[in-house]
Amino acid sequence: MRLVLLGAPGVGKGTQAQRLAQRYQTVRISTGDLLREAVRQQTPLGLEAKRYMDQGTLVPDGVMIGLVREQLSARPGRSGYVLDGFPRTIAQADALGRLLDECREPLDTVVDLEVNEPELVRRLSGRRTCPKCQRVYHVESAPSARGARCEACGATLVQRDDDRPETVKKRLAVYREQTRPLLDYYRERGLLRGIDGLGPVDDVTERIVRQLEAADRQRVGRS
Ligand code: AP5
């Protein structure tokens, strides 16, 4: 499966990408996690990216396209993927299209998760993440059974620097200006499936799965 997850900051892309990757036995490629790991290791990429991430703005397209090209070509046996956080601009979407054309592996589906803005702010302000295994929690709706520690690996959970209220405001504005236009971009290409992202996490997963199955049936019907 070759899937892109789109949606505003905090909509649940990471949460759902992890579940879908597990369900379909494929890999999740999260550009946000890759960048945070580079920041943690203080690599040249991390040092450059941090300046943008701290302000809630996007890392330049050239850097991101190079990073994703590397990830896609490192896939074992050209298996599928769930792309979480990429593309985020029209230039990134064009570059991804060219890359996939070259290896004759077009995208199967683009899922757009939709949640209202007050709920996005609630989700981001209560999010806690595991710095070691990247598992995502929420202090109210998805707390860790081990309190301030990760259920899976025991590491101490942290709040992301860019989840501060003023940075969240900027990230939401950047999403509206630079990423929302991708909805029309993928709608015009017949790839977009809109999903209501409100409600229990399991319900959202099932909605996505139903849409993926419908998209599959449509593809089979066309071939
Ligand atoms: P990135 O890490 O991709 O951040 P984002 O897109 O802003 O998305 P988030 O990770 O904040 O949210 P999410 O949608 O994954 O939600 P989650 O599942 O965690 O990017 C960070 C930065 O890196 C960017 O600002 C940019 O600077 C840079 N960057 C990354 N990619 C880039 C690119 N391609 N180009 C340029 N720059 C790039 O859920 C949020 C919370 O809600 C959690 O607490 C979760 O438990 C909870 N939750 C999830 N689902 C539900 C539900 N159904 N009900 C209740 N709570 C829920």
**pLDDT higher than 90, residue 95:** yes
At residue 76, the pLDDT reads: 67
Residue minimizing CA distance to atom 43 of ligand 1? 127
Q: pLDDT, tens digit, for every residue of 14-28?
A: 999 999 999 999 999
- Largest interatomic CA distance in the chain: 51
At residue 207, the pLDDT reads: 98
At residue 222, the pLDDT reads: 79
Centre of ligand 1 to C-alpha 144, Å, is 18
Q: Which is catalytic among the residues 160, 164, 170, 180?
A: 160
Q: Which is catalytic among the residues 36, 128, 171, 207?
A: 171
pLDDT band at 134 (very low <50, low <70, confident <90, very high): confident
At residue 223, the pLDDT reads: 75
At residue 219, the pLDDT reads: 82
What would the 3-class secondary structure string for 4-72 be? EEECCCCCCHHHHHHHHHHHCCCEEEEHHHHHHHHHHCCCHHHHHHHHHHHHCCCCCHHHHHHHHHHHH
The torsion angle over the Cα atoms of residues 134, 90, 190 and 113, rounded to 10 degrees, is 30
Q: pLDDT, tens digit, for every residue of 162-196?
A: 998 999 999 999 999 999 999 999 999 999 999 99
DSSP designation for 123? H
CB distance 35 to 160 below 8 Å: no
Q: Is the CB of 134 under 6 A from ligand 1?
A: no
**pLDDT higher than 70, residue 2:** yes
Centre of ligand 1 to C-alpha 94, Å, is 22
Residue indicated by tokens 């991101």: 64
At residue 220, the pLDDT reads: 83
Per the annotation, the verdict on 88 as an active-site residue is: yes
pLDDT band at 203 (very low <50, low <70, confident <90, very high): very high
At residue 48, the pLDDT reads: 94
pLDDT band at 77 (very low <50, low <70, confident <90, very high): low
The pairing of strands 2-6 and 81-84 is: parallel
**pLDDT higher than 80, residue 78:** no
Per the annotation, the verdict on 127 as an active-site residue is: yes
CA distance 195 to 75: 28
